[in-house]
Structures are given as structure tokens and as C-alpha cells.
A and B are shown apart, each in its own frame.
Chain A
């Protein structure tokens, strides 16, 4: 069965970086991409970006593109989210989600999500 298992909670200081992993199993990793979505405490969902596991192509949210990097390791079927120059408002639960299919324009999140990783940014 398809599973996405994320790395554990992190506590970081402002200005630091964090790298969250998303280990995929149960499907051909390179046949789908991975979206990343975050949710600040008590707030709504925010799409952060998407990466193709096939060729590494990416799309990022405009407000994050200077600080975020999405990568994949096909040998370990793992996707990574790195966020740099952390601020207190980056405190959130970060989710990875496999895309459901690609239209002619986008590859949106589908039915398979990780369990979420809480990243806390605090001095």
C-alpha cells in the first residue's frame, strides 16, 4: 500500500535551516511528484511547492521561493524539503502529499499524504 512517512518533529532557532524528509513506499517513486503543504497553528493550509520525482522539475510558492528547496533521492525513494532562514512564522506542521495526476498545467496533491512534521521556530 502507498505510504508516505515523514521525519520527526524539529525545534530550530530563528535564522537556522530545517530539512524534512518524506519516505515513499508502495508505488513506483518516479511515476509521481510530491507536493509540500504547511499549516501554521490554528491556521489554514498553504501550498509550498511541488517536485517531480521523475526529473526533479520544481514549482514553488512565490513567497517562499527564495528560502525553500525541494529535492528527491530516487535511490531511497525519499523527498526532502529544506527551508532556510527560519522565522517564527515558519512554525507549522509540514505535510508531503503525492500528486494524483498531472494535468496540462499542474500536478496537485492527491489521496496520499504523510503524517505531518511539526517544525517549531523559537529562540
Chain B
């Protein structure tokens, strides 16, 4: 199975900050990567698919990039509602595998 290494596991940031999360795959996965946001007690929410495509209805401050093994997720200007845990997911092949998650906390 493809291993997804996500970093950092947590970070503290202020409203308005630019936040960057990375995900590295153990082998090349083309651009077959998605990013999800999860708030406590809620189901995950799809933000980005195909590495850089914004899901309908998701604010443009969220973006993704990368291909092959290295991927970046960015929040350009952190908003209060963005404090949550973020996960990457490789959907290149089965079994699908998630990264370990990044908890974004208020500084």
C-alpha cells in the first residue's frame, strides 16, 4: 500500500496567516490526491481533488499543488472557521490511504 506522510502533524497560526501543509507519497501517484477538512464531531469535507481542483463551493483561499510524490495544501489567509484538522488522501490506487492529519490550532 502507498504510504502518505503528512507534515506537520499540528501547527498554531493566527487569523490572516498563510498556512502550508505538505503530503509526500511513498511512490508516484500522478496528481491523484485530495484534501479534506474535518471539524470535531463532523464528517470530513472535500476541499481539493486531483491535487489542485477546488471542490464546488469551497472558498478560493484554499489551494493545492503538486504531482508525483510531493504535494502542498495552502490556506492563503486563515479564517476563524478554518481551524480544523486537514487530511490528504491518495486515490491513485487501492487501497486508498490517508495522511496522518494536520491539526490547525489558534495561536
Residues of A at under 8 Å CB distance from B? Answer: 35, 37, 44-47, 50, 59-62, 95, 97, 100, 103, 105-106, 108-111, 113-116
Contact = CB atoms under 8 A, between A and B. Distances in A.
A61 B49 CA distance: 21
Q: Tell me the dominant secondary structure on chain B's binding face.
A: loop
Contacts, number: 69
A113 B43 contact: yes
A111 B43 contact: no
Most chain A CB within a 10 A radius of its CB, from B38, B89, B95:
B95
B87 interface: yes
A109 B98 contact: no
A47 B43 contact: no
B97 to A, nearest CB: 7
Interface string B2-39: 00000000000000000000000000000010101010
B44 A62 contact: no
Nearest to A116: B43
Range, interface on chain B: 20 to 34
B89 A108 contact: yes
Interface of B: 1, 32, 34, 36, 38, 43-46, 49, 55-56, 87, 89, 91-101
Q: Tell me the dominant secondary structure on chain A's binding face.
A: strand
B49 A100 contact: yes
Given A45-B44, A106-B91, A113-B43, 13 more contacts: A45-B87, A45-B89, A45-B98, A45-B101, A46-B98, A59-B94, A59-B95, A97-B43, A103-B91, A105-B32, A106-B94, A108-B49, A111-B55
A85 to B, nearest CB: 20
Contacts of A47: 89, 95-98
A44 B98 contact: yes
A108 B98 contact: no
A117 B11 CA distance: 29
B50 to A, nearest CB: 9
